[in-house]
Chains A and B, each alone.
Chain A
């Protein structure tokens, strides 16, 4: 009954979405006030989808083996948290989560949107409903998560052990909220283009939504990076895997949008460009979904290979992106020009920021899709990896990081003050860092060296907007910007030092043997068998010391039985100045064990920086919402006084 209830809720939600579409067309043709029914239906649609999702979680939590999806992806012996998280650890479930968030985003827009004009809001809710409709159709026609087996199975096939990790509970939902949250920006842009109301009011209304989605995207990418780092046991934090790029591309577009929307909100300029970015950002989310879910790529994220689904998703992608661009081409040219600005001004700074981010986005996009393109055209197979992305996008990212220190110092319209004087101290810090790297490590590659230089400069430069004023009186949004930019410097410092100073040791050890890596001496004590709820493992005991103190590390090789899989569980110990990362490999006939050890100085800064960027976004969001609320209160108070 539970599965059927979920399916029914999904059908009802799809019906409501179709109805919303009709309402939107009606509202666009005649100027009838349809905003109230539109709002209520969007909320009901969101609730229905949430019910469908809850039903799926329920069948997974109770391991209802008459449901095909549960049979294929779950197992009764799995720990409870992975039974629940396993709901979205498969194709159908993760698509249902996607649609649930899409519908929830529509419901939130309907509930909380106060500053958008009624016509634009109706059109935006209609656009959101059309987006949802396509994905409802995809679920109901090509990926029904609630399909029953003819005869209930006795036991499930189990979940990929790489996914049996607490990361699965947080990483996909966080990332999806970010991905799909961008749909609101898309819909608002489409709505404003349809009703011809692209102005600074729209930008002010759109900004919190973009910011919220961007925060989740940032945190989701950061968490995913750390998950890959410790779960795969390869010691790397970013592999330029197409699936990782699929999350990076919307982030780059959303970051550009976040900056250009400020120009539109504050100065009424860059109208067409900002609308295009809003369309592109969510299009990148859909491209990412297509890449990950269609089966054109194989990775731990690609759950099933089914050409029918790939075609369906590609068709949806083409329809939505195509329609949005046609609309943009029709309406974009008629947008009024924005306010003018001088060459040296904050507007110009933000334009350069946007250009660099777009170029990086283009480079990542081309690199990610090129293999698919070549295979489709000539049948040739190739892969594009770190050498390409590092060499082409790396230098541009560094230039961007340098400019991050300059942009916030410029004032709107026209800069008359000698801004560059303020940058003397950060500049000197950068040069000092450069000199130090030449003394300490003359042999490292150029990109990490410049990375450390720019990081040292930006650590100081990012704080400048708070210097020379009372920092406690600075708006929360300014604090948010400063912390986010500071986070970029922190993360960059971590990446550069990790690339430059990581030491690796690969060797074979018998009990009692010692291996050295960086400042550490690691003694291999012994190997003992151990077991968890659905796995058995061989666990090594390593005693690590660097002069004083002793740390025990226990890397494992695990054997899962359902499905039969072997995985490596790295043991990682964190210190203030880096991480010791240990992996155990295979044994040989003489009782020796392969050990792979890394000493990674300051690697944790990478994710600490990511968390700071997210925190900065959160502060900015709180600051903006606070201010909006206060303004609304003030205007309400003013109205009351007038009518008193």
Chain B
């Protein structure tokens, strides 16, 4: 092969590879990305049942229960507008408690959110950004009500 043709071939192969990467990524993102919803979004029917998603909100006061098996917890996540029951089997993070913010990853199954992972604040100074906005809205809403 002549050097010039060879370069042409290499350049076209590289372009094809880049396109392939982008197409593959788009295909993967289409059904593998986990969207973030609040209980209000889910009440409004925005989420699809059976797809992995993230749910964010506050753990409602006095809603936390533990099943007799000792490792399954049930609680209600609220964003002030809607409430959604959540079940989770596992050890909850250290800063997971009633009245604090939580992000749960899992699936919606017959009106319940079955969480596979629970993310809570890392420490007292840290809060996930999704929740940060939510808390701000929450406060703003409250002051308006007042």
Interface residues of A (CB under 8 A from B): 160-162, 270, 273, 298-300, 305, 337-342, 351, 355, 358-363, 366-367, 370-371, 380-385, 387-388, 391-392, 396, 506-508, 557, 563-568, 583, 585-586, 588, 592, 594, 596
**Contact of A358 with B28 at beta-carbon distance under 8 Å, contacts A337-B7, A566-B94 already known:** no
**B55 shortest CB reach to chain A, Å:** 11
A396 to B17 Cα, complex, angstroms: 12
Which of the listed residues B7, B27, B66, B69 has the most CB atoms from chain A within 10 Å of its own CB?
Answer: B7
The 4 A-B pairs at the shortest CB distance, nearest first, are namely: A508-B70, A362-B21, A381-B36, A585-B91
B140: interface (CB < 8 Å): no
A305 to B122 Cα, complex, angstroms: 14
Tell whether, in the assembled complex, residue B125 and residue A563 are in contact, meaning their CB atoms are under 8 Å apart: yes
Tell whether, in the assembled complex, residue B123 and residue A594 are in contact, meaning their CB atoms are under 8 Å apart: no
B128: interface (CB < 8 Å): yes
Tell whether, in the assembled complex, residue A340 and residue B2 are in contact, meaning their CB atoms are under 8 Å apart: yes
Tell whether, in the assembled complex, residue B13 and residue A355 are in contact, meaning their CB atoms are under 8 Å apart: yes
**Contact of A380 with B122 at beta-carbon distance under 8 Å, contacts A337-B3, A366-B29 already known:** no
Which residue in B29, B66, B124 is a CB contact (below 8 Å) of A565? B124
Which residue in B21, B36, B95 is a CB contact (below 8 Å) of A366? B21
13 A-B pairs in the complex with CB atoms less than 8 angstroms apart = A298-B129, A299-B122, A337-B3, A339-B3, A342-B1, A355-B17, A359-B21, A362-B18, A362-B22, A366-B21, A381-B36, A565-B94, A568-B94
A620 to B10 Cα, complex, angstroms: 28
Tell whether, in the assembled complex, residue B89 and residue A506 are in contact, meaning their CB atoms are under 8 Å apart: yes
A586 to B33 Cα, complex, angstroms: 32
**Contact partners of B128 in chain A: CB under 8 A:** 298
**Contact of A588 with B35 at beta-carbon distance under 8 Å, contacts A337-B3, A340-B2, A363-B21 already known:** no
Interface SS of chain B: helix, strand, loop or mixed? Answer: mixed
**B47 shortest CB reach to chain A, Å:** 12
**A143 shortest CB reach to chain B, Å:** 18
**Contact partners of A392 in chain B: CB under 8 A:** 24-25, 27-28, 32
Tell whether, in the assembled complex, residue B4 and residue A337 are in contact, meaning their CB atoms are under 8 Å apart: yes
B52: interface (CB < 8 Å): yes
**Contact partners of B48 in chain A: CB under 8 A:** none
Whose C-beta in chain B lies nearest to the C-beta of A557? B94
B34: interface (CB < 8 Å): yes
A551 to B28 Cα, complex, angstroms: 44
**Contact partners of A594 in chain B: CB under 8 A:** 70-71, 91
Whose C-beta in chain B lies nearest to the C-beta of A304? B125
Tell whether, in the assembled complex, residue A385 and residue B34 are in contact, meaning their CB atoms are under 8 Å apart: yes
A385 to B14 Cα, complex, angstroms: 27
A564 to B122 Cα, complex, angstroms: 11
Tell whether, in the assembled complex, residue A596 and residue B90 are in contact, meaning their CB atoms are under 8 Å apart: yes
**Contact partners of B66 in chain A: CB under 8 A:** 588
**Contact partners of B7 in chain A: CB under 8 A:** 337
Given contacts A351-B10, A596-B90, 8 further A-B contacts (CB under 8 A): A160-B122, A392-B28, A565-B123, A566-B94, A585-B91, A585-B92, A588-B66, A594-B70
A585 to B91 Cα, complex, angstroms: 6
**Contact of A596 with B91 at beta-carbon distance under 8 Å, contacts A160-B122, A367-B25, A563-B124 already known:** yes
